[in-house]
Amino acid sequence: MAKKTGKTPPARERGGFKASRHGKASASGPKGAQKRAAEEREAKGQQHAADESSRFLRGGAISPAPITGRESVADLIDGAFLAYNAARLREACHLFTRKMLEADVTVGMTLTGALTPAGLGMAALIPLIESGYVDWIISTGANLYHDTHFGLGLAMHRGNPQESDVVLREEGIVRIYDVFFDYDVLLSTDAFFRQIITSPEFQRPMSSAEFHYLCGKYVRERENRLGIGKKSLIGAAYDCGVPIYTSSPGDSSIGMNVAALALDGNKCVIDPNQDVNETASIVLEAKRGGGRSGIFICGGGSPKNFALQTEPQIQEVLGIDEKGHDYFLQITDARPDTGGLSGATPAEAVSWGKIDPERLPDAVVCYIDATVALPLITSYAHARHKPRPLKRLYDHRERMMQRLISEYRRLK
């Protein structure tokens, strides 16, 4: 039997339990003593005072004002998006607006999923481009193809996704979930691309940025002729000198039409080698002279990888000293545990050299549908940050490539 000393054991020893290292109430502490202390405090009418010296309690207290309907979008996000994926969306808004939009940051954006058919080209992407918030883009070809419908004055409509697809086919209606449009919209857009691609300026190998720049010129001309205003993302990118790349040129109706014309001897070729090197040169240019690079990823897929692989291209393949992108913002519904690139986290990207490990605190993944998040982030950015001067990176492609070539050759 243990010798009695007459002393009360310290809190961390009573009852065989461990208290927290601060001696405060804890789930690892003595349950009976903590229960009695709480009951005594309640009986005396004493208010519990949280141990706010803890580093885990330094976040703002959750105490939002009632929502009245008079709030702006930005005020609603700051005041009521306090937890779970809403909090991640607030963090995304803060990262984009407070850090990624600083003057020395070059912002690349990637687009996957059917965003332009849902009208997000007009609602969000064109305003982001025109305000100087997005400096270069990598998109699926499908987003650019469907974007062109609007620039040609062709209509897409809201529909009921429960309709019979057999009936829709018989009626000549195509659907992208709940976006409906006439089959002739596809035929008319195909005819437009085939017509412009046969023009002399397309008769050569080129990067997808050059290809889309030329297409954007013709789309803007059609918009002007129709008097419909700015409806097309590629038209706005042409106006603002924002280069648009596609990571898989043949994987869309645009690429299909290019391939069909090749059967007739057309010389237009979209060269992926130029795309790989041009996108790497944009990132290298952003990082030299004290600048920074930020990537805003909508969705995931091939455009996500194409944007992030710029750093392994610079470091691993070309052998140029670099550390990775500075800012990483992704909106996605993909899980990381399936091993797919769409769900891969920024921490995983560090191991590839894609993300600067010192900048991981400046990485946000928001698990939410991009059709919900993108309009909110766009509105927040416009409310909280003034427009930036356009970088017009398209106009500087040759100079940026010369820097990349010069640094690469110096190492050989």
Structure-token pair, residue 254: 């645009």
Alpha-helix residue ranges (DSSP H) falling in 313-396: 346-350, 370-384
What residue type is 251 in one-letter code?
A: D
Measured distance CA(145)–CA(121) in Å, rounded: 12
Q: Judge contact between 31 and 17, C-beta under 8 A.
A: yes
Closest CA to 140 of 97, 176, 166, 102: 176
Measured distance CA(116)–CA(121) in Å, rounded: 5
Residues 6+ apart with CB under 8 A from 250: 256, 258, 259
Task: Give the side-chain half-sphere CA count within 13 A for 339.
Answer: 0
Measured distance CA(254)–CA(194) in Å, rounded: 9
Structure-token pair, residue 48: 């519990």
Closest CA to 271 of 208, 313, 216: 208
Structure-token pair, residue 75: 């005020």
Concatenated DSSP letters of 263-295: TTT---EE-HHHHHHHHHHHHHHHHGGG-EEEE
| Residues carrying an active site annotation | 354
Task: Phi first, then psi: give them for residue 271, nearest 5 degrees.
Answer: -95, 110
Measured distance CA(161)–CA(286) in Å, rounded: 44
3-state SS, residue 70: coil
Q: Judge contact between 87 and 60, C-beta under 8 A.
A: no
Calculate ∠ Cα 357-361-364, nearest 5°: 110
Give me Rg for the CA atoms of the chain: 27
Measured distance CA(339)–CA(335) in Å, rounded: 8
